[in-house]
Amino acid sequence: MKNLIDKLYETSVLTKEEYVTLISSHTDKDSEYLFSLAREVRQKYYGKDVYIRGLIEFTNYCKNDCLYCGIRRSNKNAERYRLTKEQIMDCCQQGYELGFRTFVLQGGEDPYFTDDIIVDLIKSIKSEYSDCALTLSIGEHEHKSYKAYFDAGADRYLLRHETADNEHYGKLHPHNLSPVNRKKCLYDLKEIGYQVGCGFMVGSPYQTAENLADDMLFIKELQPHMVGIGPFISHHDTPFRDKPNGTLEQTLFMIGLLRLTLPYALLPSTTALGTIHPLGREKGILAGANVVMPNLSPRSVRKKYLLYDNKICTGDEAAECRFCLNKRMESIGYNIAVTRGDVKQI
Ligand code: SAH
**For residue range 154-180, what is the model confidence (pLDDT) as tens digits?**
999 999 999 999 999 999 999 999 999
Is pTM, for the whole model, over 0.95? yes
Dihedral angle over CA of 138, 140, 144, 145, nearest 10:
-20
Pocket of ligand 1 contains residue 106 by CB under 6 Å: yes
Percentage of the chain exceeding pLDDT 90: 98
Does CATH place domain 2-337 in 3.20.20.70? yes
Predicted local confidence at residue 273, as pLDDT: 98
Residue 345 scores a pLDDT above 80:
no
Pocket of ligand 1 contains residue 162 by CB under 6 Å: yes
Pocket of ligand 1 contains residue 68 by CB under 6 Å: yes
Rounded Cα gap, residues 201 and 204, in angstroms: 6
Pocket of ligand 1 contains residue 14 by CB under 6 Å: no
Rounded Cα gap, residues 122 and 186, in angstroms: 20
CA atoms lying within 13 Å on the CB side of residue 104: 26
Q: How confident is the model at residue 117 (pLDDT cuts 50, 70, 90)?
A: very high
Measured in Å, residue 47 CA sits from the centre of ligand 1 at 29
**Sheet containing 49-52: which strands, arranged edge to edge?**
291-292, 49-52, 335-337
Give the helix, strand, coil percentages of the chain, each rounded to 5.
Answer: 45, 15, 40
Measured in Å, residue 215 CA sits from the centre of ligand 1 at 16
Does residue 308 contact residue 258 with C-beta atoms inside 8 Å?
no
DSSP per-residue codes, 144-212: HHHHHHHHHT--EEE---B-S-HHHHHHHS-TTS-HHHHHHHHHHHHHHT-EEEEEEEET-TT--HHHH
Measured in Å, residue 336 CA sits from the centre of ligand 1 at 25
Pocket of ligand 1 contains residue 159 by CB under 6 Å: yes
Q: Where are the domains of the chain?
A: 2-337
Question: Closest by alpha carbon to 122, among 155, 73, 99?
Answer: 155
Predicted local confidence at residue 179, as pLDDT: 97
**AA identity, residue 84:** T
Measured in Å, residue 32 CA sits from the centre of ligand 1 at 28
Residue 346 scores a pLDDT above 70:
no
Measured in Å, residue 11 CA sits from the centre of ligand 1 at 31
Pocket of ligand 1 contains residue 169 by CB under 6 Å: no
Pocket of ligand 1 contains residue 160 by CB under 6 Å: yes
Measured in Å, residue 78 CA sits from the centre of ligand 1 at 15
Query: If you take atom 1 of ligand 1, which residue's CA is the nearest one?
Result: 108
Mean pLDDT of the chain: 97
62 CA: nearest ligand 1 atom: 1
- Rounded mean pLDDT, 325-333: 97
What distance separates the 2 farthest-apart alpha carbons in the chain?
A: 55
Rounded Cα gap, residues 154 and 266, in angstroms: 18
Measured in Å, residue 99 CA sits from the centre of ligand 1 at 26
- Rounded mean pLDDT, 339-345: 93
DSSP symbol at 295:
B
